[in-house]
Amino acid sequence: MPAKDDTSSDKEKCLELFLKIGLDERTAKNTVANNKVTTNLTSVINEAGVTDGCSRTVGNLLYTVATKYPANALPHRPTLLQYIVSSKVKTTAQLDAALSFLGATGSENLDLNKFEEACGVGVEVSTEDIKHAVDEVVEENKATILELRYRVNVGELLGHVRKRLPWADAKVVKQLVDAKLYEILGDRTAADNEKPKKKKEKPAKVEDKAAPVATSEKPLEEDLNPYLIFPNPEDNFKVHTEVPFSDGNILRCSNTKALLEKHLKATGGKVLTRFPPEPNGYLHIGHAKAMFVDFGLAKDRNGGCYLRFDDTNPEAEKKEYIDHIEEIVQWMGWEPFKITYTSNYFQELYEFAVELIRRGHAYVDHQTPDEIKEYREKKLNSPWRDRPISESLKLFEDMKCGLIEEGKATLRMKQDMQSDNYNMYDLIAYRIKFTPHPHAGDKWCIYPSYDYAHCIVDSIENVTHSLCTLEFETRRASYYWLLHALGIYQPYVWEYSRLNVSNTVMSKRKLNRLVTEKWVDGWDDPRLMTLAGLRRRGMTPTAINAFVRGIGITRSDGTLISVERLEYHVREELNKTASRAMVVLHPLKVVITNLEANSAIEVDAKKWPDAQADDASAFYKIPFSNVVYIERSDFRMQDSKDYYGLAPGKSVILRYAFPIKCTEVILADDNETILEIWAEYDPSKKTKPKGVLHWVSQPSPGVDPLKVEVRLFERLFLSENPAELDNWLGDLNPHSKVEISNAYGVSLLKDAKLGDRFQFERLGYFAVDQDSTPEKLVFNRTVTLKDSYGKGGK
């Protein structure tokens, strides 16, 4: 009990300290829950000499230092902190530049003049300077501003100003840009108001649900180059990782000049990364972030990214998964430098294993899995750890030749059983498996482990940046230990936070169970966060990549990103690219009694909200006949002041057509069920009702409109984080999929093809599904027009 009380007391002291430097309570509490960040931030506060408190601005900058400071430049951290405390570095833009400069400098002598120049120390930007830059940017983009009005991308305008004045106060820049737009455009019109509401609503809501963010100027984050944090290949001789051993020795991980020169000669100095999925399942949205990091960095630096299949387990690989991964990578907009397999290097990996034994760094072990687990927990050496090198060489050859039974021997690396890092407890390098390999055939009956293979293959392929998610951070020690033990080139390793999205699960085990137990309709079910599912739902790779870019490449693990943030980016994309059309989900027949049955009036409907009258391609024709259909939910028997639908004696406008007034309601024999509505239309359009309804009409007397099937999707799980529930399957949303088989659509839709996307007016964005046939189209709802999930709407 006393130990627990001490821990609680320490956390309370840390919380008090973090509140003193201006962190909000939520950020402070989340920080205390993370031991690593707590240790870093406490050290930073002490180094900065602000244990008695400081301003919120300084505190936020200190928090950023604690979470993002490059490990290879620790000797220079006190210098940076003095610049922050003295307000010489006072904005996030300056701090980002400082961190980038220090990361490139490493532990070498710091040139203060170059440092100050790199991060704008002493540069004062006046309001007049900002105003002048804003005037220039607005003038250069005036044509676009006048065309799009308040729908113009303000973030791009801010970015242009920032390029001219990188150290300008971001808040002043935003205020002056807004003022300039108002000067040119005047008050917002009704047409202007729709988009800003979306922008205002989504990002703010998502940031609240995301991890605590202790920085100002947040609106500019998505415009920053997320790859600036990574060093250049020629700098990979600097120490950026230290591996402590239980005997007091420290491995300072770095390449020798000779190794680096050999590497640079082979690559021409280009950045080479790798995206290394296991071919044992379908890719999900977390892989979209990994692709953005791996392929994106290579593209940003004019380098290349391997698509490497990590196929070390012969029992798990399937060609179905390989084909899917190659297709999805291409769909997401990425082009592999080369497609390789870990199995391509089985011979080299074997030869390196033999060399590892010869150097005294590996041994053949006969412990069972349970014994290995027990010995690791007790930090005990295997009884076979110190067997003669010649004996291990002979036994490893026997393993390779199939002379030892499966499960009777493994090759283990001789690391550090007394280490504080569990991933240094003599990890397994090779296992015996009498299973032919789908790619390598039956040549091998021993297969390398991930911990052994991936770092060596990174080195063989001359990967410059080995990037992975934070759960692999503790394996960094083993990664560098092995490459150092073999004396081969060491890539730069960096970990980032994995992408966790609300209301779903993304572990392969859970996804596999959902699919195999038929809780969903396959790997591409539109309710899943698999990339195949998102594509089928109608989401675009552009929107997914924008979502990932907006989150950033951070190390703040444990953050749960609201799915609404993804939906925001999807709406932004589809609002610009999806043609408008009208569909009625639950049709209610309306007979226009003052229009002859065999006549129809053609009206023009807009495909795009800003359609110009002289552009015929921006419109489609709809017949306004004496039988039309409206949504059943758009009619009530009892009217009210806050209701804008149709009711007895009330008028509404049919979009693009005429006002109609309900004159009679035809009921079934039960005097409750509404069979049809009778109404009169106003050909003069003098009536000006407030309500505007979407509708579909009979194309000719007695002929039904185009019949389509519509599938409405909601969150797959009711809870934001179902993965943490013991009974996570019990949290499945029973209403996550609703099929409407007899909806009516306008004739514009009859030629729609797989992948076509539309905005069904007043309903949402929809995409043609692969289940469509020539006889009947099927549409999946991608997202609603506005978020109504929390309000119980569909």
| Integer Cα distance of 526 and 714 in angstroms | 10
CA 724 to chain centroid, in Å, comes to 20
CB of 536 closer than 8 Å to CB of 770: yes
**Assigned token pair, 240:** 């950026």
Q: Tell which residue, 708, 617, 691, has the closest CA to residue 654.
A: 691
* Catalytic residue (one of 164, 198, 508, 606): 508
Across-strand partners of 362? 413
Q: Following DSSP, what letter does each residue of 581-618 receive, concatenated?
A: E-EESSEEEEEETTS-TT-EEEEEEESSTT--TT-GGG
Widest CA span in the chain: 102
Rg of the chain on CA atoms, in Å: 32
Angle formed at CA 694 by CA 689 and CA 699, multiple of 5 degrees: 120
Residue 27, helix vs strand vs coil: helix
- Cα–Cα distance measured from residue 83 to residue 538, given in angstroms and rounded to the nearest whole number: 49
Distance from chain centroid for Cα 5: 39
For the chain, helix (H) and strand (E) counts, in that order, are: 24, 29
- d(CA 747, CA 696) in angstroms, rounded, equals 9
Residue owning tokens 């934001």: 720
Distance CA 154, CA 177 (A): 8
**Residue 400 contacts residue 379 (beta carbons within 8 Å):** no
Is residue 765 within 8 A of residue 570, CB to CB? The reply is yes
Catalytic residue among 498, 510, 589, 794: 498
Q: Is 596 a catalytic residue?
A: no
Catalytic residue status for 274: no
228, β-bridge pairs: none
Q: Which of 787, 631, 763, 755 is nearest to 696 (CA)?
A: 631
User: What is d(CA 72, CA 441) in angstroms, rounded to the nearest whole number?
Assistant: 44
Burial group, residue 302, by CB count within 10 angstroms (0-12, 13-18, 19+): exposed
* Angle (nearest 5°) at CA 720 between 714 and 725: 115
Residues whose CB is less than 8 angstroms from the CB of residue 536 and which lie 6 or more positions away in sequence, other chains included: 524, 525, 526, 767, 769, 770, 780
Task: Please check whether residue 424 is in contact with residue 477, taking contact to mean a CB–CB distance below 8 angstroms.
Answer: yes
Question: Which helix H or strand E contains 195, and what residues bound it?
Answer: helix 190-209
DSSP state of 30: H
How far is it, in rounded angstroms, from Cα 200 to Cα 222? 15
d(CA 460, CA 352): 11
What is the b/e burial string over 693-704, where b = at least 16 CB atoms within 10 angstroms of the residue's CB?
bbbbbbeeeeee
Among candidate residues 278, 327, 406, 473, the one labeled active-site is 278
CA distance 293 to 97: 20
Q: How far apart are the first and last CA of the chain?
A: 51
* β-sheet bridge partners, residue 661: 651, 680
Which of 420, 27, 11, 434 lies closest to 214, judged by CA? 27
CB-CB contact of 365 with 382 (8 Å)? yes
Are 237 and 464 in contact by the 8 Å Cβ rule? The answer is no
781 is catalytic: no
Kindly report the number of other CB atoms within 10 A of residue 212's CB atom.
18
How far is the C-alpha of 479 from the C-alpha of 486, rounded, in Å?
11
Point out the residues that are catalytic: 278, 498, 508
